[in-house]
């Protein structure tokens, strides 16, 4: 545990990429395989399990420190990090001198104080927590608290982890990055397999690291000639890769999860591809002549078994927009235009209308044609044809009518890189939905915003009262956050832990990418990626929007999921 704690604080103390790689390399070179495997789960952003609720930890720490619970909450509001708050208030006498804790490895800590603890009753949990507090120094307690509550984030990317592991293993960083995709390093044996210099059996099933697009930062006309770019619709689905090697076909999400069980018809269709093929693309939900959007795809993505009713309600198609491997050869280094040419020959678009403005209609029609028989067809993503940036802007303006999110601009000469390679792929998204909403609740932030109320819940009017519809964590400048924090403190009506209920006096312009009806939310609506656009100081709460306004936006979005009339021509 001490070794992992040292790594955590080394990573926390620097923003230098080289220093982070050096810290990671030193850790993996020295750590036992079982500890390194556990560290991999944390460092690579794997799903962390919460063994003890934060409410129980607060209560036990308050008793151990001999202070009231309300004071713990006040300390937390000022510190901004619960793990650090608890470590600071706990008695420190003797903890620094404890040497037994040095011998507690990360694997032992994860196994005995996290995995086994999840199934224990509260009495057993408390006894274990108090025992571990006695074994760890304060700086170790902070890291352990984060592991215990499933919130240990260390600020390193998978690319940096791959670089460090590659140096320790003596393999090419690209090979290690490929291995880390879906590697599932869970124990000492799987870690040793990861670190071997020889090809492994699991290599055949793994996807490639995804190339990510960045939001466009300038006017498209500043990118140069239109002919230098391949333009596609930005589909509203789930990013995925199909890997067809040997006798297997596997489907991987961008979150590096194997989703074969969730999309069995796509996997069945993938078996028709030649062996040694890897496609990058989008899983889309399509019914009739409508694209259903990401919300529909997500109904299936987390399932291990999809019932027939859901298969019928949310039929899916895989739209490929890149070819990464052909005949078992990695072709990511070829220019996109060449990869695209080979993709179109391999995965045709079974609709002659599927070019230019009729792209979405072609995708919908292809699925409709094959809906009666599984598997549905695999398609390639049609290009959007435009002779100028002005004509592409006109096409982009119809995106919402087509049920897409805008345009993708991809440089013809670009290779397929790893991660967010700026300058090769740009997202030219449509303008978001917007509504004026009123601040109802505020909560203190974390990290550099500790002590400031920077997390906001906003609402709109319904039947003469304000109902919460969204939480927003971004959009205001630092100076505005400080100013609003003073208003929050001065207008607080009630306090529920770190959350303050405030007088409804402040109006904000709220933007979001999508909206849908929801039975899980009290207001009956769910918005996607909400954020504050600006502080509407000139408006008062009666000027804010209504739930009826949001319902109309839902109707617009639903209508917009049908192809544009021109696309049906």
Q: Residue 130: which CATH number?
A: 1.10.3260.10
How far does CA 492 lie from the centroid of its chain? Answer: 33
Specify whether 14 is located in the same domain as 141: yes
Specify whether 322 is located in the same domain as 438: no
* Alpha carbons 63 and 84: distance in angstroms, whole number: 17
Structural contact between residues 536 and 507, judged by C-beta atoms closer than 8 angstroms: yes
Of 158, 161, 48, 30, residue with least CA distance to 105 = 30
Which run of H or E residues covers position 531? Answer: strand 531-535
Q: What is the pLDDT along the chain (569 residues), one digit of tens a residue?
A: 888 899 988 888 888 888 999 999 999 999 988 898 888 878 876 667 788 888 899 999 999 999 999 888 888 877 878 888 999 899 876 554 444 444 578 888 777 777 777 778 888 889 888 888 888 888 888 888 888 888 787 778 777 888 899 899 988 776 787 777 655 677 888 888 888 887 766 667 788 889 999 888 888 888 999 999 999 999 989 999 999 988 888 898 887 777 888 898 899 899 989 999 999 999 998 877 778 888 888 888 877 778 888 888 888 899 999 999 999 999 999 999 999 999 999 987 654 333 333 445 555 554 444 433 333 478 888 889 888 999 999 999 888 878 888 999 999 999 999 888 888 999 998 878 889 999 999 988 766 666 788 889 999 999 999 999 988 887 888 889 889 999 999 999 998 877 889 999 999 999 887 777 777 777 778 888 888 989 999 999 999 999 988 888 877 665 444 433 233 22
Specify whether 402 is located in the same domain as 495: no
The answer to whether residue 109 sits within a structural domain is: yes
> Regarding beta strands 492-496 and 499-502, do their DSSP bridges make them parallel or antiparallel, or are they unpaired?
antiparallel
* Alpha carbons 379 and 366: distance in angstroms, whole number: 8
Specify whether 482 is located in the same domain as 368: no
Terminal CA-CA length for the chain = 65
Specify whether 396 is located in the same domain as 514: no
Specify whether 472 is located in the same domain as 420: no
Residue 375: cis peptide before it, omega within 30 degrees of 0: yes
Of 349, 336, 408, 339, residue with least CA distance to 378 = 349
Specify whether 394 is located in the same domain as 257: yes
Of 260, 216, 231, residue with least CA distance to 375 = 260
The answer to whether residue 565 sits within a structural domain is: no
The predicted pLDDT at position 557 comes to 60
Of 238, 241, 237, 239, residue with least CA distance to 181 = 241
Specify whether 490 is located in the same domain as 520: yes
Which CATH number do you get for residue 519?
2.40.50.140
- How many of the other CB atoms lie within 10 Å of CB of 6? 16
Burial class for 403, CB neighbours closer than 10 Å (0-12, 13-18, 19+): buried
The predicted pLDDT at position 277 comes to 95
Torsion of CA 366, 370, 374, 377, to 10 degrees: -30
The answer to whether residue 7 sits within a structural domain is: yes
The answer to whether residue 170 sits within a structural domain is: no
DSSP sequence for 283-325: EEEEETTEE--HHHHHHHHT-SS--HHHHHHS-EEEEEEEEEE
Burial class for 262, CB neighbours closer than 10 Å (0-12, 13-18, 19+): buried
The answer to whether residue 402 sits within a structural domain is: yes
Specify whether 229 is located in the same domain as 302: yes
Specify whether 401 is located in the same domain as 312: yes
148, 168, 190 - which closes a domain = 148
413, 429, 445 - which closes a domain = 429
The answer to whether residue 221 sits within a structural domain is: yes
What b-and-e string marks burial along 284-315, b requiring 16 or more CB atoms within 10 Å of the CB? bbbbebbbbbbbbbeebbeeeebeeeeeeebb
Which CATH number do you get for residue 394?
3.30.470.30
Torsion of CA 216, 221, 224, 227, to 10 degrees: 100
Structural contact between residues 71 and 225, judged by C-beta atoms closer than 8 angstroms: no
The dihedrals phi and psi of 398, each to the nearest 5 degrees, come to: -95, 5
What is the domain count for the chain? 3
Rounded to two decimals, the pTM is 0.61
410, 429, 448 - which closes a domain = 429
The answer to whether residue 168 sits within a structural domain is: no
Question: What helix, strand, coil percent values describe the chain, rounded to 5?
Answer: 45, 20, 35
* Alpha carbons 168 and 165: distance in angstroms, whole number: 5
Task: Quickly list H helices, 314-415.
Answer: 336-346, 359-370, 389-396, 399-402
Structural contact between residues 182 and 155, judged by C-beta atoms closer than 8 angstroms: no
What range does the domain containing 48 cover?
2-148
How far does CA 5 lie from the centroid of its chain? Answer: 26
* Alpha carbons 399 and 387: distance in angstroms, whole number: 18
Tokens of 270: 């993938």
* Alpha carbons 249 and 254: distance in angstroms, whole number: 16
Tokens of 398: 């119809």
Helical pair 138-148 and 122-135, crossing angle rounded to 10 deg: 150
Specify whether 10 is located in the same domain as 142: yes
Question: Which are the contacts of 468, defined by CB distance < 8 A and separation ≥ 6?
Answer: 440, 441, 457, 458, 459, 522, 523
Length of the chain equals 569
> Regarding beta strands 277-287 and 316-326, do their DSSP bridges make them parallel or antiparallel, or are they unpaired?
antiparallel
The answer to whether residue 176 sits within a structural domain is: no
* Alpha carbons 263 and 376: distance in angstroms, whole number: 11
The Cα angle at residue 569 between residues 376 and 392, in degrees rounded to 5: 90
Specify whether 304 is located in the same domain as 421: yes
């Amino acid at each position: 545990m001490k070794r992992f704690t040292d790594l955590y604080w080394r990573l926390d103390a620097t923003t230098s990429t080289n220093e982070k790689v050096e810290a990671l390399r030193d850790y993996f070179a020295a750590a036992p395989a079982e500890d390194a495997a556990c560290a991999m789960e944390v460092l690579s952003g794997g799903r962390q399990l919460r063994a003890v609720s934060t409410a129980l930890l607060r209560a036990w720490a308050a008793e151990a420190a001999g202070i009231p619970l309300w004071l713990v909450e006040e300390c937390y509001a000022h510190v901004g990090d619960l793990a650090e708050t608890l470590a600071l208030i706990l008695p420190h006498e003797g903890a620094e001198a404890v040497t037994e804790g040095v011998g507690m490895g990360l694997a032992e800590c994860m196994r005995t104080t996290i995995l086994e603890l999840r199934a224990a009753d509260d009495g057993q949990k408390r006894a274990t927590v108090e025992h571990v507090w006695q074994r760890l120094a304060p700086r170790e307690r902070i890291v352990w608290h984060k592991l215990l509550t499933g919130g240990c984030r260390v600020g390193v990317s998978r690319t940096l982890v791959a670089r460090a592991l590659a140096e320790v293993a003596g393999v090419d960083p690209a090979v290690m990055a490929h291995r880390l995709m879906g590697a599932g390093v869970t124990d000492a044996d799987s870690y040793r397999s990861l670190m071997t210099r020889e090809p492994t059996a699991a290599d055949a099933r793994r996807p490639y690291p995804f190339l990510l697009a960045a939001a466009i930062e300038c006017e498209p006309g500043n990118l140069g000639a239109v002919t230098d770019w391949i333009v596609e619709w930005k589909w509203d689905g789930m990013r995925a890769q199909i890997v067809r090697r040997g006798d297997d076909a596997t489907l991987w999400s961008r979150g590096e999860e194997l989703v074969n069980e969730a999309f069995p018809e796509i996997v069945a269709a993938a078996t028709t591809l030649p062996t040694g093929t890897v496609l990058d693309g989008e899983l889309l939900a399509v019914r009739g002549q409508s694209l259903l959007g990401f919300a529909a795809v997500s109904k299936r993505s987390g399932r291990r078994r999809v019932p027939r009713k859901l298969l019928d309600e949310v039929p899916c198609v895989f739209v490929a927009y890149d070819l990464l491997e052909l005949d078992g050869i990695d072709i990511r280094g070829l220019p996109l235009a060449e990869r695209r040419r080979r993709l179109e020959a391999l995965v045709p678009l079974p609709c002659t209308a599927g070019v230019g403005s009729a792209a979405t209609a072609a995708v919908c029609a292809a699925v409709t044609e094959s809906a009666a028989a599984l598997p549905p067809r695999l398609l390639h993503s049609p290009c959007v044809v435009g002779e100028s940036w002005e004509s592409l802007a006109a096409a982009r303006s119809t995106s919402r009518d087509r049920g897409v999110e805008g345009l993708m601009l991809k440089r013809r000469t670009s290779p397929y890189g790893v991660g967010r390679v700026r300058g090769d792929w740009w997202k030219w998204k449509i303008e978001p939905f917007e509504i004026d909403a009123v601040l109802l609740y505020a909560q203190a932030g974390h990290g550099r915003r500790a002590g400031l109320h920077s997390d906001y819940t906003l609402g709109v009017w319904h039947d003469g009262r304000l109902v919460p519809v969204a939480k927003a964590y971004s959009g205001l400048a630092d100076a505005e956050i400080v100013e609003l924090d003073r208003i929050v403190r001065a207008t607080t009506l009630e306090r529920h832990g770190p959350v303050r209920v405030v007088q409804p006096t402040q109006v904000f312009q709220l933007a979001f990418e999508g909206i849908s009806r929801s039975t899980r939310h009290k207001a009956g609506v769910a918005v996607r990626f909400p954020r504050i656009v600006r502080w509407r100081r000139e408006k008062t709460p009666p000027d804010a929007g209504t739930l009826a306004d949001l319902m109309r936006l839902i109707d617009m979005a639903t209508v917009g999921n049908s192809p544009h009339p021109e696309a049906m021509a």
